[in-house]
Amino acid sequence: MKPVLVPTTDVNSETGLLLAWHVGDRSEVQAGETIAEIETSKAIIEVPAPEGGFLLYAAREGAEVRLTEPVARLFADVGALEAYAEEEHRRRAEAAASGPRATAPARRRAEELGVDLASIGGDSLITVGMVEAAAAAATTATIELPDPLPGVAALPRIALIGAGLGATQVIDILQAAESGTAVAIVDDDASRWAGEVMGVPVVGGFERLVTLFGKGAFDAAIIAISTSVPARARLRAALGANGIPLANAIDPTARIAADVTFGTGNVVCALCHFGVGTVVGDNNFLSAFNSYDHHNRLGSDISTGPACTTSGLVVLGDRVRLGTGIYMEPHVELGDDVQVASGSVIVASVPAGHAVKRRTVTTVVVPRR
């Protein structure tokens, strides 16, 4: 097969108009014979056959053709031409049947989740979000969602948000502290629905939480997602909008000094220390061995790793994210949305929206001699 290109050096045109074919489709042509006329923005160009053979049109008369692409193809014999034409026809049919417009990430996600893109209606571009929503809807339709546990008399019934490992920590703290009993978990990942975490059923997504609260199935919620500060902040706002109160989960091994005040929705893991006069906001997830010395002020929606230690009079803004093993000098103030890398020693205040980086100390692993 030999492609027939338009012989032009015209730099002004990317396309031309196919004015006329001088020979029939699938006819035999001689080398050098004029087979077509193409009009560009500059001129009318005659297209000669580059060699003899059987000609297959690649464009119809009156069509705009790209000058970099063949207008026809030449074959040594009719058999080769027919085979090519048949293959081309099959390819076209396949392309036409390839279905709706979707982004590449959406196609990959649809394959992972087993979603048929054609089932997502409308003529809009299909996105990952739409595929996931369709998968969730399909799951909802087929899964029988479990009911929350009845709870234990005299203990507040707690619903957890997030069925990941954070939920295991919160359930363990509630059991140890006997300050509440987890009766249900919700998670927007539908693949977790109808499962359970430490005996607590995953009863559906956020919408189910709202429904269950309306039915009086639980008393307060705790956000059990430890690492994502944006998710914690967003979910706290969503709970507020639906009038659902938050509860604290404070491990009994935590040492809480005099005159310490807590907001709501805080998760405090084992062996934490809160010095005299410290004020803690709402919805913070504080990992084990955190020590906030006297008269600290903590904002809301904070998430920390284990072993973060502050001196007196330290201030943490809202949505602060601390790594593991961090020390802070007295009077240090971290603004809202500050992120601090593991192992940092903070000696000066950090303005809002900034990150504290630290040169990584790599542990070198060598084989034993």
Partner 1 sequence: MIAARAMGDALRAALEEDCRVILLGEDLVDPYGGAFKVTRGLSTDFPGRVRSTPVSEGAIVGLSAGLALSGYRPIAEIMFGDFLTLCFDQIVNHIAKYEAMYNGKVTCPVIVRTPSGGGRGYGPTHSQSLEKHFLGVPHLRVVAGSLVHDPAAILRALLAQDSPVLLIEHKLLYPLHLMLPAGGRIEGDIAEVHISADGLPTVSIRPVPREDCWFTVLAYGYQAELARRVLSRLAVEEEIFGELVVPSQISPLDWEPIDASVSVTRSLLVIEEGVEGFTWGSEAAARISSCFFGELRRPVATAASAPTVIPTSKMLEAGMLMTSERVEQAIRQAAA
Which residues contact partner 1 (rule: CB under 8 A)? 11-15, 40-42, 64, 101, 103-106, 123-125, 127-128
Measured from the CB of residue 131, what is the shortest distance to partner 1 in angstroms? 11
| 227 DSSP assignment | S
Decide whether 133 or 288 has the Cβ nearer to partner 1: 133
Measured from the CB of residue 266, what is the shortest distance to partner 1 in angstroms? 30
Measured from the CB of residue 67, what is the shortest distance to partner 1 in angstroms? 9
| 242 DSSP assignment | T
Measured from the CB of residue 123, what is the shortest distance to partner 1 in angstroms? 8
Q: Are 275 and 292 in contact (CB under 8 A)?
A: yes
Decide whether 101 or 358 has the Cβ nearer to partner 1: 101
Decide whether 125 or 137 has the Cβ nearer to partner 1: 125
Residues 6+ apart with CB under 8 A from 314: 292, 293, 296, 297, 328, 330, 331, 332, 333, 334
Cα distances (Å, whole numbers) of residue 339 to 87, 157, 165: 58, 33, 22
Decide whether 31 or 125 has the Cβ nearer to partner 1: 125
Decide whether 67 or 271 has the Cβ nearer to partner 1: 67
Decide whether 40 or 253 has the Cβ nearer to partner 1: 40
Q: Torsions phi, psi of 269, nearest 5?
A: -85, 180
Q: What is the DSSP string of 281-297?
A: -SS-EE-TT-EE-TT-E
Please name which of 196, 85, 114 lies closest in space to residue 148, comparing C-alpha atoms. Answer: 196
Measured from the CB of residue 243, what is the shortest distance to partner 1 in angstroms? 26
Distance CA 32, CA 154 (A): 98
Q: Are 113 and 132 in contact (CB under 8 A)?
A: yes
Measured from the CB of residue 254, what is the shortest distance to partner 1 in angstroms? 38
